[in-house]
Amino acid sequence: MDIIHLLPDTVANQIAAGEVVQRPSSALKELLENSVDAGATKIEVFVKDSGKTLLQVTDNGKGMSPTDARLSFSRHATSKIRTAEDLFAIRTMGFRGEALASVSAVAQVELRTRMLTDETGTLIRIEGGEVKLQEPVVTPAGTTIAVRNLFYNVPARRNFLKSNTVEARHIIDEFERVALAHPEISFSLNHNGLDVFQLPPSNLRQRIINVYGNQYNEKLVPVNESTTLLRINGFAGKPEFARKTRGEQFFFINRRYIRDGYLHHAVSNAFEKLLPSESYPSYWLFIDIDPSRIDVNIHPTKTEIKFDDERSVYAIVRAAVKSALGQFSVSPSLDFEKDTSFELPHSMLYKPVQKPGITVDTGFNPFMRDNSHRKADGWQQAYNGLEKIHIDNPVENISGIEFPEGIQNRAGDTIVSGEGSLLTHEGILAFPSVNGITFIDYKGARERILFERFLDVAEGQAHETQLELFPLTLNVPAGDFELIQEIEPELRGLGFDLREFSGSTFVLHGVPSGLEKGTEKELLELVIEQYKNQQDKPGMNIREKLAWTLARNIVKNEALPHSRSGIDQLPTELLRCRQPNYTPGGNPCMMVLKTEDIRKWFK
Ligand code: ADP
Ligand code: MG
In 60-102, at which residue ranges do the beta strands (DSSP E only) sit?
none
Residue 207 neighbours by CB under 8 Å, 6+ apart: 179, 180, 183, 199
- Burial profile 533-570: b = 16 or more Cβ within 10 angstroms, e = fewer: eeeeeeeeeebbbbbbbbbbbbbebbebbeeeeebbbb
| Per-residue model confidence (pLDDT) at position 467 | 59
| Per-residue model confidence (pLDDT) at position 149 | 97
Confidence bin at 535 (pLDDT 50/70/90): low
For residue 20, the one-letter residue type is V
Pick from 164, 92, 189, 247: nearest CA to 478: 189
562 and 423 Cβ atoms separated by less than 8 Å: no
231 or 13: which carries more pLDDT confidence? 231
| Per-residue model confidence (pLDDT) at position 400 | 44
- Phi, psi (deg, nearest 5) at residue 7: -75, 140
| Beta bridge partners of residue 524, listed in sequence order | none
Confidence bin at 119 (pLDDT 50/70/90): very high
In tens, the pLDDT along 389-414 reads 233 333 334 444 444 444 444 444 44
Report how far ligand 1's centroid is from the alpha carbon of 37 (Å): 8
**8-state DSSP, 603:** -
Q: Is the confidence at residue 358, as pLDDT, over 50?
A: no
What distance in Å separates the CA atoms of residue 204 and residue 183, rounded to the nearest whole number? 6
Determine the residue of 34, 42, 96 to mutate for testing ligand 1's pocket, defined as the one with the most ligand atoms within 8 A of the Cβ atom. Answer: 34
What's the chain's length in residues? Answer: 603
pLDDT, average across residues 431-450 = 83
Between the alpha carbon of residue 469 and those of residues 137, 458, 493, 504, the distances in Å are 57, 20, 17, 20
Pick from 301, 586, 564: nearest CA to 420: 564
| Per-residue model confidence (pLDDT) at position 496 | 82
| Per-residue model confidence (pLDDT) at position 363 | 45
Weakest-pLDDT range from 31-40, 207-216, 349-358:
349-358
Question: Residue 102 CA: which ligand is closest?
Answer: 1
Q: Average per-residue pLDDT in the chain?
A: 80
| Per-residue model confidence (pLDDT) at position 300 | 79
Q: What is the CA radius of gyration of the chain?
A: 31
Q: Is the confidence at residue 416, as pLDDT, over 60?
A: no
Report how far ligand 1's centroid is from the alpha carbon of 36 (Å): 10
Nearest-atom number in ligand 1 for the CA of 35 is: 23
Of all protein residues, the one whose alpha carbon is nearest to atom 14 of ligand 1 is: 78
| Per-residue model confidence (pLDDT) at position 216 | 87
DSSP 259-302: --HHHHHHHHHHHTTTSPTT-B--EEEEEEE-GGGEE-TTSTT-
DSSP 380-408: HHHHHHHHH---S--S--GGG---SS-EE
Nearest-atom number in ligand 1 for the CA of 81 is: 4
pLDDT, average across residues 375-397 = 33
| Beta bridge partners of residue 422, listed in sequence order | 430
Determine the residue of 19, 20, 78, 114 to mutate for testing ligand 1's pocket, defined as the one with the most ligand atoms within 8 A of the Cβ atom. Answer: 78
Three-class secondary structure of residue 414 per DSSP: strand
Nearest-atom number in ligand 1 for the CA of 97 is: 8
pLDDT, average across residues 307-328 = 89
| Per-residue model confidence (pLDDT) at position 140 | 97
171 and 185 Cβ atoms separated by less than 8 Å: no
Q: Which residues line ligand 1 (CB under 6 A)?
A: 30, 34-35, 37-38, 59, 61-64, 72, 77-80, 94-101, 143
Pick from 587, 576, 307: nearest CA to 441: 587
What distance in Å separates the CA atoms of residue 145 and residue 40, rounded to the nearest whole number? 14
What distance in Å separates the CA atoms of residue 127 and residue 214, rounded to the nearest whole number? 43
Q: Is the confidence at residue 352, as pLDDT, over 70?
A: no
Q: Is the confidence at residue 123, as pLDDT, over 70?
A: yes
Q: Is the confidence at residue 382, as pLDDT, over 70?
A: no
pLDDT, average across residues 221-234 = 93
In tens, the pLDDT along 144-181 reads 999 999 999 999 889 889 888 889 989 999 999 999 99
Weakest-pLDDT range from 74-78, 376-380, 483-487:
376-380
pTM summary value: 0.61
Portion of the chain with pLDDT greater than 70, in percent: 80
In tens, the pLDDT along 515-527 reads 777 777 778 888 8
Q: Is the confidence at residue 344, as pLDDT, over 80?
A: no
| Per-residue model confidence (pLDDT) at position 307 | 92
Between the alpha carbon of residue 204 and those of residues 200, 210, 233, 234, 425, the distances in Å are 11, 10, 10, 7, 48
Weakest-pLDDT range from 98-107, 176-185, 271-280, 414-423:
414-423
Q: Is the confidence at residue 292, as pLDDT, over 50?
A: yes
Three-class secondary structure of residue 14 per DSSP: helix
Using the Cα atoms of residue 392, residue 396, residue 397 and residue 401 in order, give the sign of their dihedral: positive
Pick from 55, 56, 67, 60: nearest CA to 35: 60
Of all protein residues, the one whose alpha carbon is nearest to atom 12 of ligand 1 is: 72
103 and 51 Cβ atoms separated by less than 8 Å: no
In tens, the pLDDT along 175-205 reads 999 999 999 999 999 999 888 899 999 999 9
